[in-house]
């Protein structure tokens, strides 16, 4: 095991829904676990469909990044998991509010058959450590 490995949990993000940390770092990178559109207070998925869940998931990802000493602007790769690729344009509109400018991170978007707790979208990211 690499001795510079460290894990992080964000107090202002929803608790993990399984046996994992919000993020782990090693070798100059922070690997953030997938974030759903869960309310940080533990009340479940936010209401309002994929747009609301996308915005909340990105807020949660931002909280996780900050707990690890990063910002969303430090992302080098983002993966988007959608239960319906028909939501791609709506998610891009929300996403562009968080990742804009001339140098957005690399990204992949994948349609999946289901997400934990019935979520419609999940974001995970890799960040360059500050």
Q: Does residue 110 lie in a domain region?
A: yes
Residue 12 lies in a domain: yes
CATH code, domain carrying 68: 3.30.1330.40
In-domain check, residue 37: yes
Contacts 24+ apart (CB under 8 A), 2-7: 2/26, 2/27
Domain that holds residue 10: 6-128
pLDDT of res. 96: 96
Residue 28 located in a structural domain: yes
Is it the case that residue 59 has pLDDT exceeding 90? Answer: yes
Mean pLDDT of 9-18: 96
Cα 128 to Cα 62: distance, rounded to the nearest angstrom? 14
- pLDDT tens-place string over residues 91-121: 999 999 999 888 999 999 999 999 999 999 9
Task: Using the predicted structure, report yes or no on whether residue 1 has a pLDDT greater than 80.
Answer: no
73: three-class secondary structure by DSSP:
helix
pLDDT of residue 15: 96
Q: Which backbone phi and psi does 29 adopt, to 5 degrees?
A: -125, 150
What mean pLDDT do residues 27-55 have? Answer: 97
pLDDT at residue number 100: 82
Is 39 domain-assigned?
yes
Give the residue among 2, 6, 1 at the shortest CA–CA distance from 70: 6
Alpha helices in the chain, H assignment, sequence order = 49-67, 88-98
> Are the CB atoms for 42 and 14 separated by under 8 Å?
yes
Examine residue 1 and state whether it is found in any structural domain, yes or no.
no
Q: Is residue 49 part of a domain?
A: yes
Domain count, the chain: 1
| pLDDT attached to residue 3 | 61
Percent with pLDDT over 70 in the chain? 98
Sequence length of the chain is 130
Mean pLDDT of the 75-93 span: 98
Distance CA 77, CA 59 (A): 17
Three-class DSSP category at 11 = coil
């Amino acid at each position: 095991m690499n001795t510079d490995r460290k894990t992080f949990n964000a107090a202002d993000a929803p608790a993990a829904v399984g046996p994992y940390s919000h993020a782990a770092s090693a070798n100059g990178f922070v690997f953030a676990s997938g974030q759903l559109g869960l309310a940080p207070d533990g009340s479940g998925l936010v209401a309002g469909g994929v747009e609301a869940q996308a915005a909340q998931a990105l807020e949660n990802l931002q909280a996780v990044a900050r707990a690890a000493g990063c910002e969303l602007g430090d992302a080098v790769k983002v993966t988007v998991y959608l239960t319906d690729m028909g939501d791609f344009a709506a998610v891009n509109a929300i996403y562009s509010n968080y990742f804009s400018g001339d140098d957005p991170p690399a990204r992949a978007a994948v349609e999946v058959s289901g997400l934990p707790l019935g979520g419609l979208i999940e974001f995970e990211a890799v960040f360059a450590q500050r």
